[in-house]
Amino acid sequence: MSNTGTLLEVSGISVSFDGFKAINNLSFAIGPAEMRAIIGPNGAGKTTFMDIVTGKTKPDEGKVLWGELSRNLIGMNEAKIARAGIGRKFQRPTVFEDQTVFENLLMAVKNDRNPLKVLFFRPKFKDLAKVEELAAEIGLSDQLERKSGELSHGQKQWLEIGMLLAQDPKLLLVDEPAAGMTLGEREHTTDILKEAAKTRAVVVVEHDMEFVRRLDCKVTVLHEGSVLAEGSLDHVTQNQDVIDVYLGR
């Protein structure tokens, strides 16, 4: 895979909440098939960064340019940005707990999102095949008819990642996917994310250094709303600034 060109370019964004600068002149770029880990202490602006890219929060200034045409995403609503190809996984597993694994996945599978089209939608063979394939990938093949509320914490996390993949996004934003997982579950999660990063961009926000090491990718360190260091994990962990603000504590 070539990493030429940028898929997402965030340039000079700032946002403050009641005077507190959550993001301060942040610039960041990611290529079309790349894995990137974002680390940083609490309050570094990791989640706010995701909120801005997905349209939940409007920045005070700056641009978020997307895709080959470099469309500015600022001002688009969440649903439009999602349809443009950005998928987001929340920190806490958020799946539709009253619905089955099958229903959750089918809802996420990329199809026309127009209400009328959805009303008369009947799953075609390719949709069902896609659901089966994803379920196999996330290890939930024999749980398709179960209500997702009954799944374990780790299974819910996978289901949400599966729903993300079902949308077939060009960029996946994943917020702390390994939180609360057992060691075995973490390994499985790493495999799913690495596999996904072969064909699309994946941005993982994570606290757990072991997990980041396992992802084996470029790391961006955020601090007080801007980039403190960037490079391989070994490179950034030797950076004195990073040690001072983050690792040293």
Partner 1 sequence: MTMFKKNPSLMVFIALLAIFTLAVTFMSEAYGTGALSTSFVKTLGKTLCLALVAIAMDLVWGYTGILSLGHFAFFGLGGYMIGMWLMYARTEIIVIESMANAPIPPTPSEISDAIGTQIFGVVGSSDFPLIWSFAHSFWAQIALVVLVPGLLALVFGWLAFRSRVTGVYLSILTQAMTLALSLYLFQNDSGLRGNNGLSGLQNLPGADAISQDNISIWFFWASAFALLLTYLIAAFIVSGKFGSVIRGIRDDEARVRFLGYSVEGFKLFVFTLTAVIAAIGGALYYPQAGIINPAEIAPIASIYLAVWVAIGGRGRIYGAVIGAAFVSLVSTYFTGGQAPDISLGFYTIKWVDWWLVFLGLSFVLVTLFAPKGIGGLFDLITDRMSPNRHGVPLGPDKGSLREEEAEK
List interacting residues with partner 1 (CB under 8 A). Answer: 54, 56, 77-80, 82-83, 87-88, 90, 94-99, 103, 106-108, 113-116, 118-119, 121-123, 147, 149-150, 163, 167
Distance of closest approach, residue 157 Cβ to partner 1, in angstroms: 14
Distance of closest approach, residue 79 Cβ to partner 1, in angstroms: 5
Distance of closest approach, residue 13 Cβ to partner 1, in angstroms: 20
Residue closer to partner 1, measured from CB, 21 or 147: 147
CA angle (213 as vertex; 140, 67 as ends), nearest 5: 70
Residue closer to partner 1, measured from CB, 164 or 193: 164
Sheet with 8-17, edge to edge strand ranges? 20-30, 8-17, 61-66, 71-72
Residue closer to partner 1, measured from CB, 75 or 115: 115
Name the burial class of residue 49, with classes exposed (0-12), middle (13-18) and buried (19+) by CB atoms within 10 angstroms of its CB.
buried
SS3 letters across 184-211: HHHHHHHHHHHHHHCCCEEEEECCCHHH
Residues 67 and 241: their CA atoms lie apart, in Å, by 33
Distance of closest approach, residue 126 Cβ to partner 1, in angstroms: 15
Pair 8, 65: CB distance under 8 Å? yes
Helix (H, G, I), strand (E, B) or coil at 77: coil
Distance of closest approach, residue 172 Cβ to partner 1, in angstroms: 12
Residue closer to partner 1, measured from CB, 60 or 150: 150
Residue closer to partner 1, measured from CB, 163 or 228: 163
